[in-house]
Amino acid sequence: SEQIASYTAQIKQLLSANNAVLVAHYYTDPLIQALAEETGGCVSDSLEMARFGKEHPAETLIVAGVKFMGETAKILTPHKRVLMPTLEATCSLDIGCPIDEFSEFCDQHPDRTVVVYANTSAAVKARADWVVTSSIAVDVIDHLDANGEKILWAPDKHLGDYVSRQTGADVLLWDGACIVHEEFKAKGIEDLKLLYPEAAVLVHPESPASVVELADVAGSTSQLINAAKTMDKEQFIVATDQGIFYKMQQLCPDKEFIVAPTAGSGATCRSCANCPWMAMNSLESIVHVLENGGNEIFVDQALGERAMKPLTRMLNFSA
């Protein structure tokens, strides 16, 4: 529409006037993902968002995603200005892992290496030995297990359980979950497979084990996108946030992607599996922060320096 065209034009002009770059997650509005690509920014998972923001020369990063992504960018590049379209966009994993309780849990298990998922606060990262994203979780735990280390994993119990099954490592789990992925149900996917018997099933391992069991490929967003591209299949049932369809469809215009049903939805679903916090990012809010410089992310300096260590391990491990 005219409104969208006008926001887009404004954002392009404001990004270049402010020496700013737009970094967007695969789960954000397709309009934002398209604009990030068009303006030389990036669309990716949280690992590549972190790396891109660190390496890009722009002085200001506009991070479209959820709060931990902006915080990670600020920790890795404290001298840059990091702005977010909204400061209200959090994550059920971050909420479900408050630093005081988490720190106590770690204190109770001093013999364990503390590995936390990127979807956590700066304070939780600062308490950890390692930060991982889902794209490298299995490899990092494999590496630690080979060194004879026992693991304390937080916050996502489904991903932690998946990683432990894949590696055979001794993993103690924190009890957290993603409200989007936890809603996928094995029954719904089995029903959908009757409608699309030829389809491959792609599942993000933040989903329950019964759903992961049905997967032809289980993996991070970037791994699922890669599977969509490389598998010799015409149809895919996809159990992750529907924002991912922008990139899948762009890379595979002739393939069909069907969002897996969540609890309470019908067999096929247009509105389900959409993270409510990711959805708070809009073109309008990006115009707003670029015009006013609001919604800046700050991280306490001492905390940031401690969190930098496990984050740097994450980036170096995957380099």
183 binds ligand SF4 (CB under 6 A): no
Verify binding: residue 45, ligand CIZ, rule CB under 6 A.
yes
Burial (0-12, 13-18, 19+ Cβ within 10 Å), 250: middle
In the list 72, 119, 135, 281, the residue contacting ligand SF4 (rule: CB under 6 A) is 119
How far apart are the C-alpha atoms of 295 and 208, rounded to whole Å? 34
User: In whole angstroms, how close is the CB of 195 to ligand SF4 at the nearest point?
Assistant: 25
Question: Is 158 labelled a binding residue?
Answer: no
Cβ neighbours for 104, distance < 8 A, ≥ 6 positions apart: none
Q: Are 65 and 281 in contact (CB under 8 A)?
A: yes
Q: Is the peptide bond before 155 cis (omega within 30 degrees of 0)?
A: yes
Rule CB under 6 A: is residue 221 a binding residue for ligand CIZ?
A: yes
Backbone torsion region of residue 27, taken as left when φ is above 0, otherwise alpha when ψ lies between -120 and 50, otherwise beta: alpha
CA 284 to chain centre: 22
32/226 Cα distance (integer angstroms): 21
- DSSP at 273: S
Write the interaction track for ligand CIZ spanning residues 46-65; mark x where CB under 6 A is met and - where it is not. Answer: x-------------------
103 marked as binding residue: no
1 is in an annotated binding site: no
Partner interacting with residue 130 (select from ligand SF4, ligand CIZ, none; CB below 5-8 Å by kind): none
With CB cut-offs between 5 and 8 Å by kind, which of ligand CIZ, ligand SF4, none does residue 46 bind?
A: ligand CIZ
Query: Considering only residues 241-270, where is the footprint of ligand SF4 by CB under 6 A?
Result: 241
Per-position x/- string for 241-280, each x denoting binding to ligand CIZ as judged by CB under 6 A, each - no binding = ----------------------------------------
Does the footprint of ligand CIZ cover residue 156 (CB under 6 A)? no
CB 120 within 8 A of CB 174: no
Cα–Cα dist 98/165, whole Å: 26
Residue 14 vs residues 4, 18, 118, 180, 281: alpha-carbon distances, Å: 15, 6, 30, 33, 17
Supply the minimum distance, in Å, between the C-beta of residue 182 and ligand SF4: 8
Contact pick of 60, 113, 119, 167 for ligand CIZ (by CB under 6 A): 119
Q: Which amino acid appears at position 252 of this protein?
A: C
Of residues 188-207, those binding ligand CIZ (CB under 6 A)? 206
Annotated binding residues for [4Fe-4S] cluster, written as ranges, equal: 91, 178, 275
Residues near ligand CIZ (CB under 6 A): 25, 45-46, 118-119, 133-134, 178, 206, 220-221
Residues near ligand SF4 (CB under 6 A): 27, 66, 91-93, 119, 178-180, 206, 241, 275, 277-278
